[in-house]
Each structure stands twice: as C-alpha cells, then as structure tokens.
Structure 1
Amino acid sequence: MIVDFNMLPEESKVWIYQCNRSFTDEEIREIESKLDVFLDNWTAHGSDLQAGYKIVYKRFIVIGLDQQVGAATGCSIDASVYFIQELEKEYQVDLLDKMNVSYKQGEFIAYKTLIDFKKMAKEKAVSKNTIVFNNLVVNIAEFKENWEVPASDSWHSRFLK
C-alpha cells in the first residue's frame, strides 16, 4: 500500500537509487506513475507493505518502507530490484551501481565513478567540504540528517587527505 513518504516513521527503511543523469520532467511523471503502481501492489508473503517514495534533485529515487507494519522479505526485495532494473532498461540509465559517487558542485549534481572521485580528491578538485550524497543511510532519520553531508562526515572522507 502506498503512503506519503513524508508520513513514514523516522525508523522506516530506505533504499536510495542514484541516477547517472537527471530525469526529464516527463520521465519523472512516468516514473512516479510506475512507482505508484508498484508500491501500491508491493507485498511480503501476501501482506501489503506500507511504502512511499520521493524523487530528489531529478536524480535520486528514494523508497521508504514502514517496517513496523510489515518488513520486506527476500522475495519482496527481489521484486523491488527487478522493478528498478526495468526502469534502468526503459530509461537507459544506471540506478544500481553503488560504485559511483554523486556530489554537489554549487547547485549542480555531479556524478562520477569512484575511481574518478578518488582522482579528484587526490588532485584537490573535491575537498572535505564538498557536499556528497551518502546513499548508505538505512532509515528516514539518517536520510534526513546524514544523506547530504560534507565529505568529511561521510564514508567519502577516506579519499580526502
């Protein structure tokens, strides 16, 4: 069952899928429609899951799940990954590769491979103050507090000397 993302409890599980490019406004409308259908029908062992989503900066699909109502199981997680893979195919984008980094350059969102980000750190093209997106956050509370942070406060700090 789909619910408003902003109404999900702070401890709700989140999955963040970063895109290698910005979605167009038309693509966002289409993806939102597909997310509405998928989440409205998402179940675990036949029980409805209460989930919501938001698309942030035209690049990030964030799905939240109220695990107090029902936790995702292997099959339901597989279904969500399959859904994301279908979006990748349809829109010819990369959403599942965790070895890429998104960060802010002013108001622009940049997307680099981890290797390129490491090079940029070595060359001082990014710094400990560069705002990065920590897609390893696990719940809505962490998403709100620790998703968009200076690189010095994230796992990215290991590349900054």
Structure 2
Amino acid sequence: IWAYQADRKLTEQESELVSAQYKSFCEGWEAHGQPLKTSFHLLLNQFLILAVDEGVHHASGCSIDGSVRLLKNLQNQRINFLDASKIAFLINDEVKLFSRLELKPLFASGYLSSQTITFNNLVATKGDWETIWRIPVEKSWMAKYLVNHTLVQ
C-alpha cells in the first residue's frame, strides 16, 4: 500500500483525471515483465491509495518508480500528491490541512484535540490501511506533544 495526500482538495474534474490515469496505469502495471494485481482508490478527493497484491507478485523498484513518475506528471496539471509539508485532519467530515507550525495554536485553542482524526499515510499493508489509516491524534506521532489534550513545545 502507498498512501498519497494531495496538497488540496481536488475538483471533480481533477479527481476524474487522476482516476482515469491510475485506472490505465494499474491495468498495465508490471514488475519484471509480470503483470501486477493492483488497485487504487481516490478518497475524499484528496488521498490516493495504491495497492499491489504481493501474494501474486512483488512490486519492483522500477515498477514503483513508474507509479511515482505518474504522480510527478500530474504536477504538470497542478495536482500535487508529493508535498508532505501539511498534515491532514478530518474536521466536521471535511479534510483540513495545516503546517506543523500551525499545530500548537490550533491545539491550544481547542480547534484540534487528542480525538481529532488525522491520517497515517505511512501505512504499508491493507490491514494497516483498514485499521490505522484514520486515527485520533492521540494515537499518532503527534501524541508526544499532547499534555492534557493540548500541544506542548
């Protein structure tokens, strides 16, 4: 599993473009001449999830590079899944992005809390994606900053 986060919510047309390009890519995705069993999901018009069933055949470095090349090509359309400078939170059923520098005042004000949902884009397996992709802040890397449900230095 590879989880990528766009730097903003995509428009419907952009989502359709990404879906069409990844549908085509996944249908022809190979490693060392062997077809890969793959799938993708575009979630919340903001997250691209790519999956390879490694029980069928493992993705190679070159095949993974091909998937990243497509992400880089999307940047020509002003669609950026490779900017990891912002952290996503689910607030009132909407994805909101904030830089790390914005976190302390957002926690201090109560806008973000230990229970606010964030996204763990480092998931590596389908099981992880199903169970720990969406997690409360208190179960994320940000938990170390929480004291009494506020962010500390």
Pairwise same-fold verdict (TM > 0.5): yes
- By how many angstroms is 1:84 displaced? 0.8
2:112 match: 126
- By how many angstroms is 1:116 displaced? 2.1
Aligned equivalent of 1:58, options 34, 45, 49: 45
* Equivalent residues of 1:28, 1:58 under 8 A apart: yes
Aligned equivalent of 1:78, options 65, 82, 85: 65
Aligned equivalent of 1:104, options 90, 108, 111: 90
Letter of the 1:146 partner, please give it: I
Q: Which has more radius of gyration?
A: 2
For structure 1, which runs of at least 5 residues remain unmatched after alignment? 1-13
Distance in 2 (CA, whole Å) between partners of 1:119 and 1:67 is 43
Partner SS state of residue 56, structure 2: coil
Q: Deviations over 1:14-73 (max 9, x none)?
A: 111111111111221221111111111111111111110111111101111101111111
- By how many angstroms is 1:143 displaced? 0.8
For residues 85-100 of structure 1, the aligned pairs below 5 Å read: 85-90=72-77, 92-100=78-86
Distance in 1 (CA, whole Å) between partners of 2:79 and 2:107 is 26
| TM-score computed with the length of structure 2 as normaliser | 0.88
Between the aligned residues of both structures, percent identity stands at: 27
* Equivalent residues of 1:15, 1:138 under 8 A apart: yes
Task: Please provide the CA RMSD for this pair.
Answer: 1.5
